[in-house]
Amino acid sequence: MGINTNAKAKFIETSCRLFEIKGYHATGLNEILKESGAPKGSFYYHFPNGKEELALESIKFARDKITKNLKKSLDRFNNPIEGITANIIGLAEILENEKKLRDMSISLLALEIYDTSEILREACEQTFSSIEDIYFEKLTEYGVDKDRAKEIATLILSLTEGAIILSLTRKNGEALRTAAKQIKTLIKV
């Protein structure tokens, strides 16, 4: 059982990385099998519905990492303005140092699959909702009215994801830093 579980994790982690680098449609199953080093025979044991099922698990894996990292980042601060600002600046630093944002955003995957796979679109939507929920909770804890907190959470997510796309395209973190500077203008108790 340990070998099978390890193979499943290898498939998921490898597909996450390859989908980020090459995209969902450009990543072939044979490439995932080769890169993972996991036994080929175990692929359909773990993912009987093929690549789409693997992508679904990869999105869930990314969601868990994204939300865990976001919560950890925000929990370091009592003030959500400081926490959200620091988190966005941290994303800029990661992008500039590593030239990518592995497991930090699913925006690019969402843009690629939103009209070709309903199950993957829904998984991306759930990821975005999970992120919004974290912002919402922090904002309401800070005393922001619930209706306004929901709107601000959506704005912060939209601002951050858009800045990620711009930063990746421009190959620098300036769009993320600009977004971070604007957080204090969005949040008022």
pLDDT (0 to 100) of residue 20: 83
- Note whether 121 and 114 are within 8 A (CB): yes
- Note whether 139 and 80 are within 8 A (CB): yes
Candidates 65, 176, 78, 47; CA nearest to 130 is 65
- Quote the domain boundaries for residue 24: 2-186
pLDDT digits (tens, 9 = 90+) for 162-179: 999 999 889 999 999 999
Query: Distance between CA 48 and CA 42 in Å, rounded?
Result: 10
Q: Compare 59 and 21 and report the one with higher pLDDT.
A: 59
pLDDT (0 to 100) of residue 4: 57
Candidates 149, 47, 62; CA nearest to 105 is 62
Place of tokens 């711009």: 166
What secondary structure letter does DSSP report for 61?
Answer: H
CATH number of the domain at 38, please: 1.10.357.10
What secondary structure letter does DSSP report for 79?
Answer: S
Span of 2-6, 18-22, 110-114 with lowest mean pLDDT: 2-6
Q: pTM of the entire structure?
A: 0.90
Number of domains in the chain: 1
The phi-psi region of residue 50 (left if phi > 0; otherwise alpha if psi is between -120 and 50; otherwise beta) is: left
